[in-house]
Structure formats: structure tokens, C-alpha cells
């Protein structure tokens, strides 16, 4: 049976290579992201996951290879040829950052309204009509606020809408960053370690939020994650990187018994790997469920 | 008089909030005073103690050690008093006493100042008044800070200033509209008000670039120059050439939009090369850009008249009716008695309207996607791009719109002066405009107004300091010290209010309740 991500990919990464001088950060990487799947990109530190994200969202241009974004209506976008802001604007790929990048001095609501820049820009007649006080712009602004309200209710921050984003606690900032990315109406949402630094309850909430986003918006989610609990619970598809190369690609169940994955994570021989790994991963999940938050700092 | 130089010590005094000298330690107190004296001598020695004069031919150094001695003595005694009564206060002196002393000094100072200005015309009264005012204000602020700190509340100064902002804007606007008709307001005051409003407008224009978009621009005066020369050249040479002399009364109103457009184009020209620059590099390139424009103006003799500048620039007309003393003039047309003040008042209202337009547009822009994108750009450029905001266009529009208002102001400057030369567009002007923006609080409109009034007012005040002449030795010229005073004031303000006078950011949109954002959270931009 063909997997969802092979049958109907929203994103195809084809043979991309990214070199920084002599360093090969990504080496001939290919994978697909299903249209309505949650895809996890995992791998040990320094495996090149964030570099992949930066290539997808246009912050880096891959040295070789092609990245294609396929919309439902048949429009295709070749991402490595587009400017970063056009990727978000037209190809509809949104992202969050490993170290949160909110507009700290602006309010929570403003953060979400800024994210709707392009829609509002058009409604304000590229500023000209807006300066003259056009009614269409006021309507558009109200719609933007409504959309922001929808997301604020969804991430339980509606009471803090008028507070500066920099004042929010860490977990709320993470959720706000996701909501802000969603306000750009993406077809693919890329999350860089969304669960980093969250406690088990927050991380459960995050899982629910991500599942409901996938359900309600019908979009694909690609996430980088170290928290195996999040990865195993919610993802439909896991891609494992090590040293810039793909070492495994499949469902969570397939990946967690993949000998290459276990070797990359645990550094043991292939023959004895599967049973040990399964045991360790099960244990890790159990621990994560019971333990207080394991603070995962950035790399 | 003993308190006089103390304001210069305020920075140090605040830094030493917990005094270095424990009570009763005579030896350390002596060392502290000695050090204070040394620092004071090192500062006053060269600045006040020596003056180079050129009576005939060669330069001669004159020494004024007597003055230096008195100044140093005043500083040392002032610090001793601070040690005894403020920092190591005896028990019977409560903060409230210091506060009352401060309030009393302020009251006496104000009274003396008013008496000196209006009743006796005695410079000594002015001197006592101003020093009393400064010292009293300082006592008052420092002691109330202390009492507030005891209660764990924020500084009452900040408390007192910020809610006033709402009413301050309306009050200032009403005063500005009525100013020319307030009794006792003469030509000198209206002229000063025109100058202040010009800087308010320039400050508001630069505020778009520096305050909202967070792009440090040290060459803003270039756009002012472009606007001024655009009007000067078009109205004296090109308009008469193209359309004949009849156009001259209308020249100002026709050129004004053109000057803004030209300046906006130069804003774009500056914007393109600096798109990728940040911080120090951006500052250096914008600085160089300002100088390039000035040097071109000096050296392109055939076009700009070089260092001679352009004179006989047409004065503005009342929409075609000139302000002349004949039957076609403004006074005759409206059946008024002719007075040269009419033109000045008209100019005043022109700049007032231009400045208000600048303010209105800026406030509107802040509530539009472009304004929010500017602020987002100041906060985090990478996040902006990840949200699909075209940062190139956003930066360029900030430069262009900021420059456009600079161009309008320049055009007004040319028509007011009737003469432009490159002398008027030196780096110092950029620095003053930037100082106004920084002082006002980045991004704050009302802050810019207050800062412009304070800075330009202080500059002008130094021309009129007769009382300083009276108490200082013969040949003392206060105008020479105004940059020193402005420098000291800048240092003090950066020490006390590093984010400027207004330290709250007003959100551009709100859901339920408008809450100001504290400046600690607001980014200052990439340079």
C-alpha cells in the first residue's frame, strides 16, 4: 500500500545538498510530506534538521536539488527559487523558530495582525486607501481581528490579547508563535522544536493543538522534535536524519525499530539494537509522562 | 551659588546611590572630597580656566584661575553637603524634609526668575532663580525617588509625567493654534515658534525611520537640503524659465509636493545601498550620504551656486496674494492695516499645518499594515520575512516617507529664509534632529514635540543669558557654552531616562483594553 505521503505529497524535497564551505550540512536528502500528515523530522544534534527548515523557508538556498510545494489546485512552487517572504506569501509555507522570535514589544493581538500583513496590505489599497480612511480597510482590519480572536481562543490566550508578547510565559510564547504562523493561512506549517522547554502538561496541550490544527485546517505539519513522546504520539510519518543524510523514513512504528536509527541515537551494533531500542524508547516515553519537565535548551 | 554647579554632578550622585563613604568615616570623606575636587579641576581647568584670545596677530592664552577656584570650591562644598545631609542623612532629616526643601527652592527660584524677568530686570535674580529651580527640582526628584523606592513603587517622576501625555498633546495644540494672537507675543517669539515647529516636523519625519522602523539615519539633513534646494532652484530659475514670471506667487505651493517627491526619491536612492546594512554600518553609510549631498551642493557651482548659496528665493504668498504693502497685497485685499508680522504669522500657520499633516499621516500609518510592518521590522526582521512581509519594500517606504517630510520641511525652510546655502545642512543639524527623536522617546509623537521645544528652546535660551554675563568675569559669552550645556544635558537624560522622555509604546490596535507597552520590551532596532 502506498503511503499518504507518497500518494499525495504537499511538499517534495528532491536530492537537496547544502554545503557551507567544506562542510556538508545536508547530503542528497529526499523526502515527501503528506498533504494532511504530521511529519516529524528527527535526528541527533547537528544532524541538519534546522538547515533543512531554513532551505524550505528560503533563508538558505540549497547548493543542489529541488524543493517543490504542491497546492491542491495543481499549482506548484519551486521553493529554492523563491525569496523567503514570497515562500510564505505565495507558496504558503509558514514556520516557527527554535529560539522564539515573537515581536516582543508588540501586543499579542498585534503579533497576530502583523502576520496578516499581505491580506491587509491589499485591503488598504497598498496604504493609499488606508490613509484616506477607506471603509474596506476597516472591514478587513475587523476580519483580521476576528481571525486573531479565533486563534487566541484556540491557544487559550484571549485574556492576554492586549498584553505585550514579551511578557507571556515561555509556553504561551510557543503557542503564540504557532498561532502567528497559522494567521498567514499556510498549507504547510513547519515547527522547529515546538515542545522544547515545555512541561509534560504543556506538551500534551501542544499535541492536542497540533492535531486539531491538522483536523480543522486540513494542512500538513512538518516538525522538528527531540521529544520522542510528541513524535511517537502524533506523527504519521517520521524522517530521520544523521550527518545530513536520511537514515530512515516511515511510520513511527517502523522507525523506532529501524536499526540505523538506533545506531545513530544509541551507538550500538545493529544485531542487538532493536530490542534494546524498543525497550529504551518505551521507558523514555513512560518517564516523560511521569517526570517533571526535562528542560531542553537550544542546541 | 554654592549649589550652582551641582546639577553637573547629578549623574555621579545617582550612580553612587549607596554612598561609598560610611557615616562618621572622616578619612574616607576627605579622600572622596579630594577626588571630587580633582575631577572638578580637571574639567573646569581647561574649559573655564584658559581662554585663547587673539588681540593682535598671535594667540594669547588667558588664565582665569580665580573662577576655576570658585567653581571647584562650589562643587566640593556641594558634595560635602550632599554627604552630610542627603546620603548620610542624620536621623532628624527625613526624606520629606529634603522634598520640602526642594519644593521650597523651586518656589523661590520661580519667584526670583519671574521677578528678574518682568519686574526688576536684574540678571542676579534670574541667576538665583534658575539655579534655585534646578537645585530644587533635583532635591525634589531625588528625595521622592527615595520615598517611592521605600514603598517599592516606580519613580514618581515617571508616574507624574506619563498620564499628563494625553492632555499635554491637546494643550500644546491649543496653545500652538492660538499662539500668534496671545497678547505679548512678538515677532521674536513667533520666529522661535516657527523654528521649533520646523524641528518638530523634522523630528516627526525622522521618527518614522528611526523610531518606528528602527533604522538609524545619521544623514537626515540631506533630505532637508534636497527639499530646500528643490524649492530654491525651481522657484528662482526653472519656474520663471518654463512658465514665466507670473508663476512666482504660486511657486511655493507648486514646489512643495515636488520637493517632497524629490526628497522621497533621494530616500529611495539612499535606501537601496543600505538595505543589507545594520547597526554601525548603517549609521556610517547614512552619515556619509548626508555629507555627500552637502559636498555636492558646495562643489557643483554652476547648478547650486556653490558656497554662495541661492538668494532672493520668493517668499510664500497667501495662495497667490503676496504679503506686500501695496494695493495687491494681503493687507489691502482683506482690508487690514499692513504689518510685516502678517507674513510671519502666515509662515507660522503654514509650518503648523505641515507639521500637523506629518503627525496625522504618521499616526494613520501606524494603524495601517505598513506601519505595523515597520514596527515588526524593528522588533525582528527574520520573523517578518517568515510571515511574508517584504522587508525590502518596507525599509524603502520608511526611508522614502521619512525623507518626504524632510523635503517638505526643507522647502519651508527655503521660503522662510529666502536664502539657502550648504552651511545650513551640516552634520550638526542631523545630530540635533536625531537628538530630538532619541530624547523624545523612540517612536513617540508627543515626546518629539516636548524634546524639540526643550532642545531648540535651550539653544535659544543661551543667546539670552544676560544674567550669566553679570555673574561671570568680563568677556564671558554664554553662547560659546551652549554645546557644552547640551552635551551635559544629553548625558544626564541618557543616565536618567535612557529610552527618552516617553517610555511607553502605544499599541496600534487593541481588543478590549488599551495597555501601553513598557519600553523594556520594545526593541530599538538594528541600529
Contact A94 B391 (CB under 8 A): no
Q: With contact defined as beta carbons under 8 Å apart, do A168 and A201 qualify?
A: no
Is A88 in contact with A186 (CB distance < 8 Å)?
A: yes
Residue of A nearest to B505 (CA): A105
Nearest to B386 among A57, A131, A161 (CB): A57
Residue B124 included in any domain: no
B399 shares a domain with B269: yes
B279-299 and B251-274 helices, crossing angle to 10°:
140
> For A162, which of B389, B505, B512 is closest by C-beta distance?
B512
Stretch among A39-43, B141-145, B292-296, B373-377 having the lowest mean pLDDT: B141-145
Residue B340 forms part of a structural domain = yes
pLDDT value for B124: 66
Same domain, B206 and B317: yes
A205/chain B closest Cα distance in angstroms: 24
Q: How far is A89 from chain B (nearest CA, A)?
A: 5
Mean pLDDT of all residues belonging to chain B: 79
Evaluate whether B522 touches B177 at the Cβ level (below 8 Å).
Answer: no
Partner residue opposite A184 with nearest CB, options B370, B382, B387 = B387
* Residue in chain A nearest B358 by alpha carbon: A131
Contact A35, A72 (CB under 8 A): yes
Q: Looking at CA atoms only, how far is residue B447 from chain A in angstroms?
A: 18
Instruction: Taking residues A276-293, report their average pLDDT.
Output: 67
The torsion angles phi and psi of A190, rounded to 5 degrees, stand at -105, 120
**Cα gap B413→B425, rounded to integer Å:** 11
Q: Give me the mean pLDDT over the A105-110 stretch.
A: 89
- Going by pLDDT thresholds of 50, 70 and 90, the confidence category of residue B202 is very high
Q: How many CA atoms lie within 13 A of B44 on its CB side?
A: 22
Total domains present in chain B? 2
Q: What's the Cα-to-Cα distance from B11 to each of A219, B3, B131, B519, rounded to whole Å?
A: 58, 15, 17, 22
Q: Are residues B223 and B352 in the same domain?
A: yes
pLDDT score at B397: 92
Does residue B63 sit within a domain?
A: yes
> Phi-psi bin for B268: left (phi > 0), alpha (psi -120 to 50), beta?
alpha
What is the domain extent for residue B284?
A: 185-425
pLDDT at position B372 over 70:
yes
Grade residue B470 by pLDDT with cuts at 50, 70 and 90: low
Question: Would you say the ipTM is above 0.90?
Answer: no
- Please tell me the least confidently modeled range out of A4-8, A145-149, B28-32, B37-41: A4-8
User: Which chain A residue has the Cα nearest residue B517?
Assistant: A164
* Mean pLDDT of the region B60-74: 83
Grid cell of A70 as nine digits = 504542491
Is B189 within a domain?
yes
- For β-strands B504-505 and A245-250, DSSP reports them as unpaired
Taking CB atoms and an 8 Å limit, are B507 and A86 in contact across chains? no
Give the β-pairing of A188-192 and A93-95. Answer: parallel
In which band, very low, low, confident or very high, does the pLDDT at B165 lie, cut at 50, 70 and 90? low
Are B417 and B280 members of one domain?
yes
Q: How far is B524 from chain A (nearest CA, A)?
A: 10
From B33, B57, B89, the end of a domain falls on B89
CB contact under 8 A, A131 and B373: no
Alpha carbon distances (Å) from B170 to B55, B173, B195, B449: 53, 5, 20, 12
Residues of A in contact with B523 (CB under 8 A): 104-105
CA distance B383 to B363: 24
List chain B residues with CB under 8 Å of A50: none
Mean pLDDT of A241-251: 85
- Nearest CA-CA partner of B47 in B495, B487, B494, B496: B487
Question: Cα torsion at A167, B517, B403, B245 (round to 10°)?
Answer: 160
Cell of A115: 502576520
Same domain, B84 and B190: no
Nearest CA in chain A to B518: A105
Mutation site for B-interface testing, chosen from A111, A113, A117, A178 by largest number of B Cβ within 10 Å:
A117
Q: What is the DSSP string of B139-171?
A: HHHHHHHHHHHHHTPPPHHHHHHHHHHHHHHHH
In a domain, B60, yes or no: yes
The cell numbers describing B463, all together, are 543667546
DSSP codes joined into one string, B47-100: IIIEEEE-SSSS-EEEE-HHHHHHHHHHHHHHHHHIIIIIIT--TT--HHHHHH
Q: Specify whether B301 is located in the same domain as B410.
A: yes
Give the residue among A226, A204, A233 at the shortest CA–CA distance from A49.
A226
pLDDT digits 0-9 by tens, B205-244: 999 998 888 888 888 999 999 999 998 888 888 877 787 7
**Phi, psi dihedral angles at A281 (to 5 degrees):** -70, -40
CB A225 within 8 A of CB A218: no
Please say if the pLDDT value at position B29 is more than 80.
yes
In this structure, the answer to whether residues B65 and B206 fall within a common structural domain is no
pLDDT digits 0-9 by tens, B93-113: 666 777 777 788 888 888 877
Q: Region B488-514: what's the mean pLDDT?
A: 76
Contacts of A130 by beta carbon, 8 Å cutoff, 6+ apart: A124, A137, B364, B368, B369, B370
Phi, psi of B58 (to 5 degrees): -75, 165
B373 interfacial to chain A (CB closer than 8 Å):
yes
* Residues B218 and B343 grouped into a single domain: yes
Q: Tell me which of A241 and B156 has the higher pLDDT.
A: A241
Q: Is the pLDDT of residue A235 over 60?
A: yes
Shared domain for B382 and B263, answered yes or no, is yes
Q: Identify from B387, B392, B444, B516 which residue to disrupt to test chain A contact, counting A C-beta atoms within 10 A and taking the largest count.
A: B387
Contact B445/B362 with Cβ under 8 angstroms? yes
Interface contact flag, B372 A117, Cβ < 8 Å: yes
Q: Are B342 and B336 in contact (CB under 8 A)?
A: yes
B467 occurs within a structural domain = no
Same domain, B191 and B81: no
**Predicted local confidence at residue B224, as pLDDT:** 92
From B33, B59, B89, the end of a domain falls on B89
Domain boundary among B31, B66, B89: B89
Higher pLDDT, B254 or B473: B254
- The Cα-based distances of B147 to A284, B90, B97, B141 in angstroms read 55, 16, 11, 10
The pLDDT mean for chain A works out to 83
Largest CA distance in chain A: 73
Whether residues B511 and A161 touch (CB distance < 8 A) is answered with yes
Whether residues B369 and A124 touch (CB distance < 8 A) is answered with yes
The highest-confidence range among A154-168, B125-139, B306-320, by mean pLDDT, is A154-168
Question: With an 8 Å Cβ cutoff, are A110 and B390 in contact?
Answer: no
CA distance A166 to A280: 38
| B385 at interface of A, judged by CB pairs closer than 8 A | yes
Residue with cell 571630587: B36
Instruction: Report residue A123 CA to chain centroid gap.
Output: 28
Residue-level pLDDT at B12: 39
What mean pLDDT is predicted for residues B458-475?
Answer: 65
| Cα separation, A71 vs A216, whole angstroms | 17
B60/B200 same-domain check? no
In-domain check, residue B492? no
Of the candidates A107, A116, A184, which has its C-beta nearest B510's C-beta? A107
Look at residue B282 and tell me if it is in a domain: yes
Amino acid at each position: 500500500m502506498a503511503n499518504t505521503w507518497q500518494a499525495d505529497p504537499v511538499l517534495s524535497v528532491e536530492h537537496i545538498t547544502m554545503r557551507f564551505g567544506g562542510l556538508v550540512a545536508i547530503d542528497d536528502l529526499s523526502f515527501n510530506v503528506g498533504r494532511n500528515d504530521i511529519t516529524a523530522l528527527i535526528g541527533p544534534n547537528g544532524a541538519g534538521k534546522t538547515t533543512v527548515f531554513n532551505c524550505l523557508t528560503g533563508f538558505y538556498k540549497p547548493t543542489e536539488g529541488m524543493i517543490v510545494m504542491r497546492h491542491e489546485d495543481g499549482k506548484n512552487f519551486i521553493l529554492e527559487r523563491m525569496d523567503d517572504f514570497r515562500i510564505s506569501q505565495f507558496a504558503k509555507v509558514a514556520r516557527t523558530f527554535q529560539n522564539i522570535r515573537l515581536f516582543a514589544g508588540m501586543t499579542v493581538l498585534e503579533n497576530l495582525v502583523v502576520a496578516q500583513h499581505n491580506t491587509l496590505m491589499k485591503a488598504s489599497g497598498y496604504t493609499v486607501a488606508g490613509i484616506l480612511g477607506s471603509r474596506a480597510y476597516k472591514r478587513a482590519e475587523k476580519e483580521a481581528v476576528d481571525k486573531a480572536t479565533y486563534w487566541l481562543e484556540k491557544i487559550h490566550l484571549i485574556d492576554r490579547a492586549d498584553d505585550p508578547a514579551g511578557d507571556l510565559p515561555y509556553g504561551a510564547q510557543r503557542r503564540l508563535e504557532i498561532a502567528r504562523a497559522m494567521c498567514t493561512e499556510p498549507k504547510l506549517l513547519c515547527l522547529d522544536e515546538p515542545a522544547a522547554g515545555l512541561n509534560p502538561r504543556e506538551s500534551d496541550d501542544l499535541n492536542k493543538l497540533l492535531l486539531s490544527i491538522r483536523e480543522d485546517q486540513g494542512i500538513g505539519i512538518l516538525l522538528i522534535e527531540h521529544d520522542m513522546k510528541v513524535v511517537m504520539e502524533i506523527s504519521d510519518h517520521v524522517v530521520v536524519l544523521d550527518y545530513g543524510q536520511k537514515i530512515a523514513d516511515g511510520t513511527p512504528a517502523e522507525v523506532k525499530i529501524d536499526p540505523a536509527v538506533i545506531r545513530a541515537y544509541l551507538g550500538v551494533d545493529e544485531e542487538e539494537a532493536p530490542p534494546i531500542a524498543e525497550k529504551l524508547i518505551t521507558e523514555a516515553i513512560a518517564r516523560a509522562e511521569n517526570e517533571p519537565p526535562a528542560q531542553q535548551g537550544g542546541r | 551659588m554654592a549649589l550652582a554647579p551641582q546639577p553637573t554632578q547629578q549623574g555621579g550622585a545617582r550612580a553612587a546611590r549607596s554612598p561609598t563613604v560610611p557615616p562618621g568615616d572622616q578619612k574616607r570623606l576627605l579622600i572622596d572630597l579630594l577626588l571630587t575636587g580633582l575631577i572638578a579641576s580637571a574639567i573646569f581647568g581647561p574649559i573655564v580656566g584658559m581662554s585663547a584670545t587673539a588681540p593682535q596677530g598671535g594667540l594669547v592664552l588667558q588664565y582665569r584661575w580665580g573662577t576655576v577656584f570658585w567653581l571647584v570650591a562650589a562643587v566640593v562644598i556641594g558634595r560635602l553637603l550632599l554627604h552630610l545631609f542627603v546620603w548620610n542623612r542624620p536621623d532628624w532629616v527625613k526624606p520629606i524634609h529634603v522634598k520640602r526643601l526642594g519644593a521650597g527652592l523651586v518656589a523661590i527660584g520661580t519667584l526670583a526668575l519671574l521677578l528678574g524677568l518682568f519686574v526688576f530686570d536684574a540678571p542676579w535674580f534670574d541667576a538665583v532663580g534658575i539655579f534655585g529651580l534646578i537645585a530644587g527640582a533635583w532635591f525634589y526628584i531625588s528625595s521622592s525617588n527615595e520615598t517611592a523606592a521605600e514603598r517599592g513603587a516606580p519613580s514618581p517622576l515617571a508616574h507624574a509625567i506619563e498620564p499628563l501625555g494625553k492632555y499635554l498633546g491637546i494643550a500644546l495644540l491649543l496653545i500652538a493654534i492660538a499662539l500668534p494672537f496671545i497678547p505679548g507675543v512678538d515677532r521674536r517669539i513667533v520666529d522661535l515658534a516657527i523654528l521649533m515647529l520646523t524641528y518638530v516636523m523634522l523630528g516627526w519625519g525622522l521618527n518614522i525611520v528611526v523610531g518606528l522602523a528602527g533604522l538609524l539615519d545619521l544623514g537626515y539633513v540631506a533630505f532637508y537640503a534636497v527639499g530646500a534646494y528643490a524649492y530654491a532652484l525651481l522657484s528662482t530659475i526653472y519656474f520663471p524659465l518654463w512658465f514665466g514670471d507670473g508663476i512666482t506667487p504660486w511657486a511655493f505651493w507648486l514646489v512643495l509636493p515636488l520637493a517632497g517627491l524629490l526628497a522621497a526619491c533621494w530616500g529611495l536612492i539612499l535606501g537601496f545601498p543600505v538595505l543589507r546594512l545594520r547597526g554601525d554600518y548603517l549609521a556610517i553609510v547614512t552619515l556619509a550620504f548626508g555629507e555627500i549631498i552637502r559636498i555636492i551642493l558646495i562643489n557643483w557651482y554652476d547648478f547650486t551656486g556653490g558656497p554662495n548659496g541661492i538668494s532672493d528665493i520668493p517668499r510664500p504668498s497667501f495662495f497667490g496674494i503676496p504679503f506686500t504693502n501695496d494695493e495687491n497685497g494681503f493687507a489691502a485685499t482683506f482690508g487690514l492695516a499692513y504689518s510685516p508680522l502678517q507674513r510671519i504669522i502666515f509662515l507660522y500657520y503654514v509650518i503648523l499645518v505641515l507639521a500637523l499633516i506629518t503627525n496625522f499621516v504618521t499616526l494613520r500609518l501606524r494603524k495601517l499594515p505598513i506601519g505595523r510592518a515597520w514596527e515588526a521590522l524593528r522588533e525582528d526582521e527574520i520573523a517578518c520575512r517568515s510571515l511574508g512581509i517584504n522587508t525590502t519594500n518596507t525599509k524603502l517606504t520608511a526611508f522614502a516617507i521619512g525623507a518626504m517630510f524632510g523635503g517638505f520641511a526643507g522647502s519651508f525652510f527655503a521660503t522662510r529664509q529666502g536664502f539657502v546655502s550648504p552651511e545650513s545642512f551640516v552634520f550638526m543639524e542631523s545630530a540635533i534632529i536625531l537628538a530630538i527623536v532619541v530624547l523624545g522617546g523612540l517612536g513617540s509623537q508627543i515626546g518629539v514635540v516636548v524634546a524639540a521645544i526643550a532642545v531648540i528652546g535651550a539653544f535659544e535660551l543661551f543667546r539670552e543669558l544676560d544674567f550669566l554675563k553679570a555673574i561671570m568675569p568680563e568677556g564671558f559669552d554664554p553662547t560659546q557654552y551652549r554645546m557644552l550645556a547640551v552635551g551635559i544635558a544629553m548625558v544626564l537624560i541618557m543616565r536618567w531616562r535612557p529610552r527618552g522622555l516617553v517610555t511607553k509604546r502605544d499599541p496600534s490596535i487593541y481588543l478590549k483594553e488599551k495597555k501601553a507597552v513598557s519600553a523594556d520590551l520594545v526593541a530599538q532596532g538594528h541600529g
